[in-house]
Amino acid sequence: MKKIAIITNIAPIYRSALWKMLLQDKANEYHFFYGENLNDAIKKIDVSKDEFLRFSNRMYEVKNYFYAHKVLVWQRGVIFKCLRGKYDIGIFLGDMYCISTWICSILFRLHGREVAFWGHGLYGNEAQIKLKARMLFYNIPHKFLVYGTRAKQLMVKQGINQNNIYVVFNSLDYDMHKSVRAKAAKLSREETFSIYRYPNLPILVFIGRLMKEKKLDLLVEAVNRINEKDIRINLLIIGDGPEKRRLEDMSALGKGNKWVYFTGALYEEDEVGKYLYWSDLCVSPGNVGLNAIHALGYGTPVCTHANLSMQGPEAEAIVDGVSGCFFRENDQNDLANKIKTWFAMYKDREHVRQCCYGIIDKFYNPSYQLTVFNRLINGDLPEL
Cα separation of 225 and 227, whole Å? 5
The 3-class SS string of 66-77 reads EECCCCEEEEEC
Per-residue pLDDT tens over the stretch 215-249: 999 999 999 899 888 889 999 999 999 999 999 88
Q: Which letter, b or e, does each residue of 237-271 get, where b requires 16 or more Cβ atoms within 10 Å of its Cβ?
A: bbbbbebbeebbebbeeeeebebbbbbeeeeebee
Question: What is the structure's pLDDT at 254?
Answer: 43
Burial of 83: CB neighbours in 10 Å, binned 0-12, 13-18, 19+? middle
Mean pLDDT of 364-371: 98
Cα atoms in the 13 Å half-sphere on the side-chain side of 334: 12
Tell me the average pLDDT of the chain.
94
Question: What is the structure's pLDDT at 42?
Answer: 75
Question: What is the structure's pLDDT at 230?
Answer: 83
Burial of 91: CB neighbours in 10 Å, binned 0-12, 13-18, 19+? buried
Per-residue pLDDT tens over the stretch 22-60: 999 999 999 999 998 766 667 899 999 999 999 999 999
**pLDDT score of 8 more than 80:** yes
Segment holding 244, helix H or strand E? helix 244-250
Per-residue pLDDT tens over the stretch 334-350: 999 999 999 999 889 99
The C-alpha angle 285, 288, 291, rounded to 5 degrees, equals 110
Enter the pTM of the model.
0.94
**pLDDT score of 185 more than 90:** yes
Per-residue pLDDT tens over the stretch 122-169: 999 999 999 999 999 999 999 999 999 999 999 999 999 999 999 999
Cα separation of 327 and 66, whole Å? 38
**pLDDT score of 97 more than 90:** yes
| Closest among 370, 377, 374 to 21, alpha carbons compared | 370
Cα separation of 211 and 164, whole Å? 37
